[in-house]
Amino acid sequence: MAWIKRNLFFVIGGVIALGLLGAAGYYIYTSWDKNTKSSDSLREVVDNLKTLVDQKPSPGNGNVDNIKIAQEQDHVVKQWVASAAAYFQPIPSIPAAGSVSVANFSGALQNTLKQLHTEADAAGITLPAKYDFSFASEKDRLTFASAGLEPLAAQLGEVKSICELLFAARINTLDGIQRVRMSDDDQGANASQSDYIEERPITNDLAIITPYVITFRCFTPELSGVIGGFAKAPNNFIIKTINVQPAGAAGAAPMAGGPGGPVFNGEIMAGMPGMPRPPGEGMPPSMQQPPPGTPGRGGAQPILKEQLLRVTAEVELVKLVPKN
């Protein structure tokens, strides 16, 4: 104790020094821990930056800002999608979507079928006897599966639009239109297999693609009108496949060769391949030259005769997925 009293200031200074050393050690420890964490975070950021730079495409550098370029391109794409929406106008359901009930769908179906018959008669278009435009199973029903009412109403509107495009082109005969099964009512005993195709609509993030198959008879100008009508429609119809053959043919492709030779204007040009023919032999009468000395008729002579065609087309309707 005497030594402490004699060296009191030294002892006090030593205690203070030890306290300061402890505080300094604690500070160094906590700072080291923070530095380690900061170093780890920095290393993670650097690694992420290297990963991004190594990607193709990369975010860019001081001279090229790929992120900004991508944002500008995204804006351009969105503008294009907005402008293209004008060609994807929805076809109104019959009755209007959201208000479909058993009573008003039954009445709307009867009225729509009657209207289509009236329009066909006005355009001079022949329909199958008592044709129901693929709704034979639903025409006389008094009750409907509730889950199928909205899809049926949408299909009724789409079938009406397709038929009116055909009527506007003045086809000669509508043989039939086929649609996909969308309701339990399409499976009933009254369901005619000729009204349906065994396909399903295709849905992705952007659109719903619904197929239809139409069969009709017409001449080439009317066929051109049908194709042009689908192309100009505000609803996006895509003709996926089309099969054209003479209306009188049974399963034969147009201009195909038969056992006796190639088909020309519906008439078979007989003769063996490679063998010479007498002039005009096997050709349609309209193309044969008259014998010498035979007086010709006045005016232009017909070269090709137009013939009735039977057309089967698979048409897809593209409908944009409603935005939430």
The CATH architecture annotation of domain 86-249+308-320 reads 2-Layer Sandwich (3.30)
Q: Which residue has the tokens 């295709």?
A: 202
Report the predicted TM-score, pTM, of the whole model to 2 decimal places.
0.61
Q: Is it the case that residue 272 has pLDDT exceeding 50?
A: no
- Per-residue pLDDT at 189: 56
Q: What does each C-alpha distance from 262 to 89, 249, 253, 283, 307 come to in angstroms?
A: 45, 14, 11, 11, 17
Quote the Cα angle for 212-88-139, to 5°.
40
- Rounded Cα distance between 286 and 267, Å, is 11
Token pair recorded at residue 184: 């339990």
Q: Is it the case that residue 237 has pLDDT exceeding 70?
A: yes
Q: Which of 69-83, 121-135, 186-200 has the lowest mean pLDDT?
A: 186-200
- Per-residue pLDDT at 60: 62
Q: Is it the case that residue 180 has pLDDT exceeding 70?
A: yes
Q: Which of 239, 233, 241 is nearest to 161 (CA)?
A: 233
- Sequence-ordered list of residues with C-beta below 8 angstroms from that of 126, at least 6 positions apart, any chain: 120, 172, 173, 174
Q: Is it the case that residue 270 has pLDDT exceeding 50?
A: no
Q: Is it the case that residue 14 has pLDDT exceeding 90?
A: no
Report the chain's mean pLDDT, rounded to a whole number.
77
Max mean pLDDT among 5-9, 267-271, 305-309 falls in 305-309
- Rounded Cα distance between 110 and 107, Å, is 5
The residues spanned by each domain of the chain are 86-249+308-320
- Per-residue pLDDT at 277: 43
Per-residue pLDDT tens for 205-223? 888 899 999 999 999 999 9
Q: Which of 70, 165, 68 is nearest to 116 (CA)?
A: 165
Q: Is it the case that residue 156 has pLDDT exceeding 80?
A: yes
Higher pLDDT, 309 or 20: 309
Per-residue pLDDT tens for 110-129? 999 999 999 999 999 999 99
- Per-residue pLDDT at 310: 94
Produce one character per residue of 140-154: b if its CB has 16 or more CB atoms within 10 Å, e if not.
ebeebbeebbbbbbb
Q: Is it the case that residue 239 has pLDDT exceeding 70?
A: yes
- Per-residue pLDDT at 299: 57
Q: Is it the case that residue 18 has pLDDT exceeding 60?
A: yes
Per-residue pLDDT tens for 28-65? 777 777 778 888 888 888 888 777 666 666 666 666 77
